[in-house]
């Protein structure tokens, strides 16, 4: 069942087009992550779903109801802000009660609800404190608690973890995931953080300059990016790109990338390839591994730089005039300048047209 439908949504600030014809359908219970570079319109889209910003044209439906002109409070949504936005002069308890009291729920019903959710988030001992007396992680929990007690139809998160340190982030991420699994409430979650996006999303939406680039399951977007932008935006370190030309010979397709000719027999083309077509061949670093001898395609390359990340070694390899990065296990430490045999996992290849930058 469709829970949120965003149709032909545009948002302009004067002549600045912040959102361009956004279309998105979200099923009940999905956890949608909006990902994209700074300023691409993620927050704007979220605020439009919340009703905090008005759209220039288009329509929003929530739960089968057209809410385009409905006030935020009547949309049955709750939002968690990057800045937490806790009411500074109220206690944690009052913060969590506020939304319910505004809706005229009797205090006798509010109290147990708030205490229940506070226990669930391990903030029950903080209920009488002011937000200024809490740590960042605690404030974040309160902000989530305030959204939870409302029991809304949709949760909206705008970079809720970006003010936390790496460790706390990871644990809050897990908690949000668990929360979603137990509640099953539809959620839209904005983030910069790829790891958050990959781990939390049931589907992710990659945006660029106000346009949706790709919508799909995290692994699908990661392994089958629809264009160069998405391929480049996801992954750390980023995807290797090799410039080249397609060659069609005797019914077999290969890509000549200068230093090597990569066979594309197993590649599932979306569009039919033409001979001489200028392409970018993309391969993620984890698909460039030390050869075990069994790969159908391997090259002998010279390492020019090695970075240790702890869990693995990032090895920069010279390939003709270009360089590619391979992700080697930490116990595999090649020597600089001494050629090593490198195996390529060609089932993970992505090929893009150099002109249109689209996947072919």
Ligand X SMILES: Nc1ncnc2c1ncn2[C@@H]1O[C@H](COP(=O)(O)OP(=O)(O)OP(=O)(O)O)[C@@H](O)[C@H]1O
Residue 16 within binding range of ligand X, rule CB under 6 A: yes
Q: Is the peptide bond before 237 cis (omega within 30 degrees of 0)?
A: yes
Cα distances (angstroms) measured from residue 163 to each of 53, 83, 134, 135, 172: 24, 8, 14, 11, 12
Q: Minimum Å distance from CB 85 to another protein? A: 4
CA distance 51 to 9: 13
Q: Which of 25, 27, 69, 73 binds another protein (CB under 8 A)?
A: 73
Query: Going residue by residue from 4 to 43, which x/- string records binding to another protein, judged by CB under 8 A?
Result: ----------------------------------------
- CB-wise, 46 or 299, nearer to Mg ion? 46
Which CB sits closer to ligand X, 140 or 350? 140
CB of 43 to Mg ion, least distance (A): 3
Query: What is the x/- site pattern for another protein, positions 133-162, by CB under 8 A?
Result: -------------x---x------------
Comparing CB distances to ligand X, the nearer of 192 and 245 is 192
Report the distance separating Cα 244 and Cα 279, nearest Å. Answer: 5
Q: Which is nearer to ligand X, 46 or 67 (CB)?
A: 46
Out of 18, 77, 118, 197, name the contact with another protein by CB under 8 A.
77
**Cβ of residue 37: shortest distance to ligand X, in angstroms?**
7
Tell me the sheet residues that pair with 328: 313
Q: Name the minimum Å distance from CB 120 to another protein.
A: 20
Q: 39 or 276: whose CB is closer to ligand X? A: 39
CB-neighbour burial class of residue 336 (10 A; exposed 0-12, middle 13-18, buried 19+): exposed
Question: What separation in angstroms does the CA of 80 have from each of 34, 47, 168, 307?
Answer: 15, 11, 17, 38
Is residue 290 part of the contact set for another protein (CB under 8 A)?
A: no
d(CA 160, CA 141): 10
Phi (first) and psi of residue 243, to 5 degrees: -80, 135
| Cα distance between residue 214 and residue 281, in whole Å | 19
DSSP 100-114: HHHTT--HHHHHHHH
CB-count burial class (<10 Å; 0-12, 13-18, 19+) for 15: exposed
| Binding partner of 18, given Mg ion, another protein, ligand X, none, CB within 5-8 angstroms per partner class | ligand X
Q: Does 297 bind another protein (CB under 8 A)?
A: no
Count of residues interacting with another protein (CB under 8 A)? 23
Please tell me whether residue 191 binds ligand X under the rule CB under 6 A.
Answer: no
100 vs 288, beta carbon nearer another protein: 100
Binding site for another protein (CB under 8 A): 47, 50, 52, 71-73, 77-79, 81-83, 85-89, 98-99, 102-103, 146, 150
């Amino acid at each position: 069942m469709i829970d949120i439908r965003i149709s032909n949504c545009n948002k302009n600030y004067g002549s600045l087009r912040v959102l361009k014809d956004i279309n998105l359908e979200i099923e009940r219970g999905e956890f949608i992550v909006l990902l994209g570079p700074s300023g691409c319109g993620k927050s704007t889209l979220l605020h439009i779903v919340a009703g905090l910003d008005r759209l220039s044209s288009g329509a929003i439906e929530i739960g089968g109801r057209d809410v385009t002109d409905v006030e935020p409070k009547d949309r049955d949504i709750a939002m968690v802000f990057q800045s937490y936005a806790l009411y500074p002069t109220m206690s944690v308890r009052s913060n969590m009660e506020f939304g319910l009291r505004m809706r005229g729920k009797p205090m006798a019903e509010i109290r147990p609800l708030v205490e229940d959710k506070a226990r669930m988030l391990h903030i029950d001992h903080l209920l009488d404190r002011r937000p200024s007396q809490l740590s960042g992680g605690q404030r974040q929990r309160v902000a989530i608690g305030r959204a939870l007690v409302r029991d809304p139809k949709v949760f909206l998160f705008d970079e809720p973890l970006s003010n936390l340190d790496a460790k706390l982030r990871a644990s809050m991420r897990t908690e949000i995931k668990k929360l979603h699994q137990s509640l099953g409430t539809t959620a839209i979650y904005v983030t910069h953080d790829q790891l958050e996006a990959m781990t939390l999303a049931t589907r992710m939406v990659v945006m660029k300059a106000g346009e949706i680039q790709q919508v799909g399951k995290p692994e699908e977007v990661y392994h089958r990016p629809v264009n160069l932008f998405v391929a480049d935006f996801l992954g750390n370190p980023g995807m290797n790109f090799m410039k080249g030309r397609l060659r069609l010979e005797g019914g077999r397709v290969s890509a000549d990338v200068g230093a090597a000719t990569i066979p594309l027999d197993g590649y599932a083309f979306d569009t039919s390839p033409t001979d001489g077509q200028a392409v970018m061949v993309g391969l993620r670093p984890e698909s460039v591994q030390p050869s075990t001898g069994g790969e159908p395609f391997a090259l002998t390359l010279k390492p020019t730089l090695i970075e240790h990340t702890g869990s693995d070694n990032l090895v920069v390899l010279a390939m003709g005039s270009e360089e590619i990065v391979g992700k080697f296990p930490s116990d595999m430490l090649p020597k600089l300048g001494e050629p090593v045999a490198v195996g390529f996992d060609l089932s993970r290849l992505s090929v893009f047209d150099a002109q249109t930058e689209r996947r072919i």
